[in-house]
Amino acid sequence: MDAFSRRSSFGFSRMLPSLLLLGFVLMTGVVSVIPGSTMPPVLLAWAIIYYWALFQPAQLPLFVLGLSGLLHDLLTGFPIGVSTFGFVLLHAGVMRLRKMITAQHFTAIWAGFGVIALLQGILCVLIITLVTQRHLSDVALSLMYGVLLAWIAYPVVHIISAFIGRYLYKSSSFSAR
């Protein structure tokens, strides 16, 4: 493999986490597109941000987080700014705790996601309630259900992300040769 294709392959692989996040956010939209679907937005994007902020924070640039947040707000019908702010805050918050969390067993990491997603959910509920002047219980029920589904789905997101992470590590070491 020549140097150019090696570098371009490495460049593409570096984009994979961002593409994964954007893909999952768009998937929220596709799920919403299914006629008759009135399920709450599954907050899988939070799981992806949590994983990458823990293990390879540089792979999710701020502008990707902002863009994904905007897209998420449009597709879920949240007021603009809720997910954008939430994504950036989640990334920054997890980055501060990463050294403490990453040293733990998977179950602790999973539990950590549950706690952080719950806190993030409470913050989102408060912002949405303040902005839209809706009943707290109405918003809370929907979002907390979304948080629960995201927590259940976290191991799948973790496995996919770990697979991509390993691929990234291999391609970076191959490119460095």
Partner 1 sequence: MRKRYAVSENTLSFGPLIQRGLFAAIAAFCLMMLFSERSQNGLAESVRATLVDGLVPVLDVLSTPVAAWDSAMQSVTDMMSVYEENQQLKAENQKLLQWYSTAIKLQSENDSLKDLAHYHPKQANSYVTAKVVGDVGNSLSQRVLINAGTEQGVQKHQAVMNESGLIGRVMSVGKNSAEILLMTDINSRLPVVSESTGLRSILAGNHSELPHLSFSASRKSPKLGEVVTTASDGELFAAGIPVGKIFSQEDGKSYIRPFVDLSRIRYVQVVDFNTAAVTR
Q: Which residues bind partner 1 (CB under 8 A)?
A: 26, 29-30, 32-41, 54-59, 61-63, 65-66, 70-71, 74-82, 84-85, 88, 92, 98-99, 102-103, 105-106, 109, 127-128, 130-134, 138-139, 141-143, 145, 165, 169
Instruction: Kindly state the smallest distance separating residue 49's Cβ from partner 1, in Å.
Output: 14
Decide whether 117 or 124 has the Cβ nearer to partner 1: 124
Instruction: Kindly state the smallest distance separating residue 43's Cβ from partner 1, in Å.
Output: 12
- Give the residue from 18, 112, 105 showing the smallest Cα distance to 61: 18
Instruction: Kindly state the smallest distance separating residue 33's Cβ from partner 1, in Å.
Output: 5
Burial of 77 (0-12, 13-18, 19+ CB in 10 A): exposed
Please list the alpha-helical segments (H only) found in 81-135: 82-102, 106-132
Tokens of 135: 């009943």
- Give every CB contact of residue 93 below 8 A, 6+ residues apart in sequence: 116
Decide whether 106 or 115 has the Cβ nearer to partner 1: 106
Decide whether 1 or 105 has the Cβ nearer to partner 1: 105
- Give the residue from 113, 117, 30, 121 showing the smallest Cα distance to 78: 121
